[in-house]
């Protein structure tokens, strides 16, 4: 079409109720605690506004009427609520035109390239073509898993030739083994799948559609009706052939369109207009269509254009109830084709995990390289599945995670400061060579790719433990070994010596490097710390292992569950639900009290305006890292326990804020051995 005829689309993030209160509080110089207490009094519900919160929460209403500061903050917050807070680029939307776009819409240069200054709604109203191009790393992951399966088992997986009806797949999902399964792995979705107990592909499609704001309210009814078909009831018998596949519940946009066609006599085109009006909350259009749906509509010449429910034998009261149900549902409904496409990927990832778990988990971890929190969670899942994850090795690892002999080998590109150039040189250099020590290894690498920092990081990550377990000794000589090889390479380049002299000359120089020194290795804690620094995860062990049973018996939350509960989207763009969606039936909510255990890190002591001590720190458990804040009143009792690398137990309140990671507001800290006292 041409660069001037294609553009990305702007999207606006708006000030929601809680964010408005916090922003206004900050602007008015209110204390963090004051603004936070007001924000937390606003219920965390879909579509919640400050006005609604004042009607619902009597305590908030009382504070509004009696405390001038609270009234001032809330009044100003209501004035800015819903206003654009920031602009960004639509995650997947592209507008395409047959004429240069600047003849239709204003454009601007965003940090992601050319974009329209009109949002997607205005673009569609102008009659321009908007397409969503959805990119999923899961598709790449599936392909890599299939390649590993072919390499290891000689089996070629072709999903196009399969029926999506393998009982083992649905059994695994029903048991909650959903880590890495597209769309199904969040804590809330996993619990939903266990309750749903899916037995066919249609159940997965419906589950993906239901687990969204709005339709989520139908989940209990859906599960109950699935388990007890005799409980399915229809407002009118005409609904049965439309809703029987979803046990009497409206689940898909297509069902709304089918209802207005079959019961009201709408055309296909007009039924889509009704769907759009409902999804965009166009009240004036809906009120008009409700009248037509119930009583019908004639063309200008008196010919019936819409028959209406009453003319089709459906009682007026029933027709009215059906339309009202559609309105409340359709605003957040998913279209079935979209859900089915997602469910295909869900099924395929589940199939690979249940039948080829080693290859699947290797490909899965390769897909999240650079995201240590996810890698740590998947390594934990591998242990639960009985799959050993081997450390990186310069003798056996490749760029990405690989599966071999029922085990997974860590990928070299997942190591800090190790790039594709040196990894490719390592893989090429070891081919056909016997490499027994650091010197052999250095000689095997193309000199132009040698990098002291990369070699150091490989040693720290344990990738040369096969030469010696003493990483301290390897680090002591690595710079000299690399320097000798680089010096020889420079001399060879300068002297232009014969190709046949190359290997022997480098070998001679490297042989002059110091022998492996007889020095003490690092202790276990130091080795683990180096692994974490280099790979973002603990691999050969974990600082919490000594207390594992004690922790499991006493904690009420871990970082994975908390971060899952904090997944959020504003629902403006369908594409925001590509990989993660708001979980609604979360295990944890803002303000919940939790008990956690982990290692203290990044401890920063601060002095407040009132000259009191407080602290900000991180707590790291088996699954990730979360920020914790200890205010002055509680810090006075906790500071003797808080030191970097200390293993502690904490009790506190969860704080979920828009556009930021969750935090814990700590009110009690103790040594890990005393966790049972909470």
Residues 167 and 312 in one domain: yes
Residues 578 and 528 in one domain: no
Give the strands of the sheet with 402-404, arranged side by side: 389-390, 407-409, 402-404
β strands within 43-147, DSSP E: 84-96, 107-110, 113-116, 129-132
Confidence of residue 23 (pLDDT cuts 50, 70, 90): very high
Each residue's pLDDT tens digit, 76-121:
999 999 999 889 999 889 999 999 999 999 999 988 889 999 999 8
In a domain, 356, yes or no: no
Task: Encode burial over 82-106: b for 16+ CB neighbours within 10 A, e otherwise.
Answer: eeebeeebbbbbebebeeebeebbe
State how far the Cα of 158 lies from the Cα of 149, in Å rounded to an integer: 12
Residue 11: φ, ψ to 5°: -140, 150
Per-residue model confidence (pLDDT) at position 578:
36
Statement: residue 352 has pLDDT above 90? yes
Average pLDDT over residues 264-270: 94
186 by DSSP, 3-state: which? coil
114 by DSSP, 3-state: which? strand
Last residue of a domain, one of 502, 517, 535: 535
Are the CB atoms for 639 and 655 separated by under 8 Å? no
What Cα–Cα distance (Å) separates residue 530 from each residue in 382, 458, 460? Answer: 22, 10, 6
CB-based burial label for 247 (10 Å; 0-12, 13-18, 19+): buried
The DSSP 8-state label assigned to residue 334 in this structure reads B
Statement: residue 471 has pLDDT above 90? yes
Are the CB atoms for 97 and 128 separated by under 8 Å? yes
In a domain, 613, yes or no: yes
Whichever domain contains 663, its CATH number is 2.40.50.140
Contacts of 85 (CB under 8 A, 6+ apart): 12, 13, 14, 15, 19, 23
Residue 18: φ, ψ to 5°: -65, -45
β strands within 37-185, DSSP E: 84-96, 107-110, 113-116, 129-132
State how far the Cα of 229 lies from the Cα of 245, in Å rounded to an integer: 11
In a domain, 347, yes or no: no
Residue 134: φ, ψ to 5°: -100, 120
Residues 108 and 245 in one domain: no
State how far the Cα of 636 lies from the Cα of 145, in Å rounded to an integer: 52
State how far the Cα of 416 lies from the Cα of 294, in Å rounded to an integer: 65
In a domain, 86, yes or no: yes
Residues 514 and 562 in one domain: no
Q: Which helix (H) or strand (E) holds 304?
A: strand 304-306
Q: Which tokens in the block code for residue 37?
A: 């207490």
In a domain, 398, yes or no: yes
Statement: residue 618 has pLDDT above 90? yes
Q: Which helix (H) or strand (E) holds 403?
A: strand 402-404
Q: Whole-model pTM above 0.85?
A: no
Mean predicted lDDT score pLDDT of the chain: 89
Confidence of residue 57 (pLDDT cuts 50, 70, 90): very high
Residues 29 and 62 in one domain: yes
Q: Which domain holds residue 210?
A: 153-337
Residues 174 and 125 in one domain: no
Instruction: Among 277-286, 475-484, 530-539, 577-586, name the one with the lowest average pLDDT.
Output: 577-586
Task: Encode burial over 569-583: b for 16+ CB neighbours within 10 A, e otherwise.
Answer: bebebbbbbbbebbb
The DSSP 8-state label assigned to residue 523 in this structure reads P
Statement: residue 308 has pLDDT above 70? yes
Q: Which residues pair with 616 in a beta bridge?
A: 604, 629
Each residue's pLDDT tens digit, 582-603:
334 467 888 899 999 999 999 9
Residue 319: φ, ψ to 5°: -60, -40
Q: How many domains does the chain have?
A: 4
**What percent of the chain stands above pLDDT 90?**
68
State how far the Cα of 522 lies from the Cα of 77, in Å rounded to an integer: 55
Residues 171 and 293 in one domain: yes
Are the CB atoms for 419 and 454 separated by under 8 Å? yes
State how far the Cα of 675 lies from the Cα of 677, in Å rounded to an integer: 5
Contacts of 90 (CB under 8 A, 6+ apart): 8, 9, 10, 11, 119, 120, 573, 575
Are the CB atoms for 157 and 151 separated by under 8 Å? no
Nearest residue to 274 (alpha-carbon basis) of 263, 262, 611, 261: 261
Are the CB atoms for 271 and 265 separated by under 8 Å? no
State how far the Cα of 546 lies from the Cα of 538, in Å rounded to an integer: 14
In a domain, 264, yes or no: yes
Per-residue model confidence (pLDDT) at position 580:
37
Residue whose token pair is 């049965």: 240
Each residue's pLDDT tens digit, 607-617:
988 889 999 99
State how far the Cα of 381 lies from the Cα of 374, in Å rounded to an integer: 11
Residues 573 and 651 in one domain: yes
Axis-axis angle for helices 336-355, 357-367 (nearest 10): 120
Q: Which residue has the higher pLDDT, 303 or 16?
A: 16
Contacts of 345 (CB under 8 A, 6+ apart): 136, 138, 139, 142, 182, 183
Last residue of a domain, one of 504, 535, 566: 535
Residues 477 and 588 in one domain: no
Nearest residue to 214 (alpha-carbon basis) of 263, 253, 258: 253
In a domain, 14, yes or no: yes
Nearest 5°: the CA angle 223, 226, 230 is: 125
Each residue's pLDDT tens digit, 513-569:
457 889 999 999 899 999 999 999 999 899 999 999 999 999 999 998 888 776 543
Q: Which tokens in the block code for residue 272?
A: 């889509």
Residues 551 and 504 in one domain: no
CB-based burial label for 186 (10 Å; 0-12, 13-18, 19+): buried
Tell which phi-psi region holds residue 296, choosing left (phi > 0), alpha (psi between -120 and 50) or beta: left
Residues 103 and 65 in one domain: yes
Residue whose token pair is 């490719």: 424
Sign of CA dihedral 313, 317, 323, 328: negative
Q: Which residues pair with 95 in a beta bridge?
A: 7, 130
State how far the Cα of 627 lies from the Cα of 602, in Å rounded to an integer: 9
Each residue's pLDDT tens digit, 192-235:
999 999 999 999 999 999 988 767 888 999 999 999 999 999 99
Average pLDDT over residues 608-630: 92
Residue whose token pair is 């294609």: 6
Largest CA distance in the chain: 102
Residues 549 and 570 in one domain: yes
CB-based burial label for 525 (10 Å; 0-12, 13-18, 19+): exposed
In a domain, 54, yes or no: yes
582 by DSSP, 3-state: which? coil
Q: Which residues pair with 630 in a beta bridge?
A: 615, 666
Last residue of a domain, one of 100, 132, 164: 132
State how far the Cα of 461 lies from the Cα of 626, in Å rounded to an integer: 24
Average pLDDT over residues 301-316: 90
């Amino acid at each position: 079409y041409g660069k001037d005829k294609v553009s990305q689309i702007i999207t606006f993030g708006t000030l929601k109720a809680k964010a408005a209160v916090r922003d206004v509080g900050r602007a008015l110089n209110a204390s963090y605690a004051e603004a936070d207490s007001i924000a937390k009094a606003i219920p965390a519900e879909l579509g919640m506004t400050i006005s609604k919160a004042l009607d619902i929460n009597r305590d908030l209403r009382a504070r509004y009427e009696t405390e001038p500061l609270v009234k001032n903050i809330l009044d100003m917050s209501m004035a800015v609520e819903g206003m654009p807070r920031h602009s960004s680029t639509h995650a997947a939307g592209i507008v395409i035109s047959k004429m240069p776009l600047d003849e239709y819409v204003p454009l601007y240069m965003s940090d992601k390239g050319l974009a329209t200054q009109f949002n997607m709604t205005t673009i569609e109203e102008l009659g321009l073509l908007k397409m969503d191009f959805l990119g999923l790393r899961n598709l790449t992951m599936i392909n890599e898993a299939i390649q590993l399966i072919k390499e290891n088992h000689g089996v070629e997986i072709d999903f196009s030739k399969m029926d999506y009806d393998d009982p083992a797949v649905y059994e695994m999902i029903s048991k909650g083994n959903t880590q890495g399964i597209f769309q199904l792995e969040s804590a809330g979705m996993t619990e939903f799948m266990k309750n749903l107990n899916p037995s066919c592909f249609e159940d997965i499609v419906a589950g993906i559609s239901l687990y969204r704001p709005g339709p989520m309210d139908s989940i209990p009814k859906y599960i109950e009706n699935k388990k007890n078909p005799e409980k399915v009831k229809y407002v009118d018998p005409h609904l049965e052939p439309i809703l029987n596949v979803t046990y009497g519940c409206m689940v898909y946009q297509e069902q709304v369109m089918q209802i207005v066609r079959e019961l009201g006599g709408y055309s296909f085109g007009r039924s889509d207009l009704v769907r759009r009006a409902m999804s965009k909350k166009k009240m004036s259009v809906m009120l008009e269509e409700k009248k037509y749906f119930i009583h019908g509509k004639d063309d200008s010449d008196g010919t019936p254009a819409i028959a209406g429910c009453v003319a089709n034998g459906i009682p007026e009261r029933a027709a009215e109830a059906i339309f009202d149900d559609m309105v409340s549902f359709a605003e957040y409904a998913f279209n079935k084709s979209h859900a089915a496409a997602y469910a295909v990927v869900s099924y395929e990832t589940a199939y690979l995990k249940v039948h080829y778990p080693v290859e699947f988990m290797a490909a899965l971890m390769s897909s999240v390289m650079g995201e240590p929190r996810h890698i740590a969670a998947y390594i934990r899942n591998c242990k639960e599945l009985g799959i050993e994850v081997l450390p990186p090795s310069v003798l056996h690892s490749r760029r990405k995670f690989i599966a071999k002999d029922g085990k997974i080998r860590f990928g070299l590109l997942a190591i800090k400061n190790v790039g594709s150039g040196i990894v490719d040189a390592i893989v090429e250099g070891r081919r056909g060579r016997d490499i027994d020590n650091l010197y052999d290894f250095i000689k095997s690498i193309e000199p132009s790719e040698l990098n002291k920092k990369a070699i150091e990081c490989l040693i720290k990550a344990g990738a040369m433990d096969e030469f010696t377990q003493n990483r301290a000794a390897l680090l002591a000589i690595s710079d000299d070994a690399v320097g000798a090889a680089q010096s020889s390479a420079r001399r060879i380049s300068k002297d232009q010596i014969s190709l046949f002299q190359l290997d022997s000359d480098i070998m001679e120089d490297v042989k002059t490097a110091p022998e492996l020194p007889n020095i003490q290795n690092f202790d276990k804690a130091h080795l683990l710390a180096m692994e974490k620094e280099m790979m973002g995860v603990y691999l050969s062990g974990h600082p919490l292992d000594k207390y594992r049973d004690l922790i499991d018996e006493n904690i009420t939350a871990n970082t994975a569950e908390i971060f899952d509960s904090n997944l959020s989207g504003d629902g403006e763009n369908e594409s925001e639900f590509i990989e993660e969606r708001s979980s609604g039936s979360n295990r944890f909510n803002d303000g919940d009290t939790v008990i956690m255990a982990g290692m203290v890190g990044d401890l920063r002591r601060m002095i407040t305006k009132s000259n009191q001590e407080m602290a900000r720190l991180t707590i790291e458990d088996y699954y990730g890292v979360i920020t914790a804040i200890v205010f002055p009143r509680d810090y006075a009792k906790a500071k003797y326990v808080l030191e970097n690398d200390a293993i502690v137990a904490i009790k506190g309140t969860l704080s979920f804020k828009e556009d930021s990671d969750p935090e814990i507001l700590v009110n009690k800290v103790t040594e890990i051995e005393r966790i049972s006292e909470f």
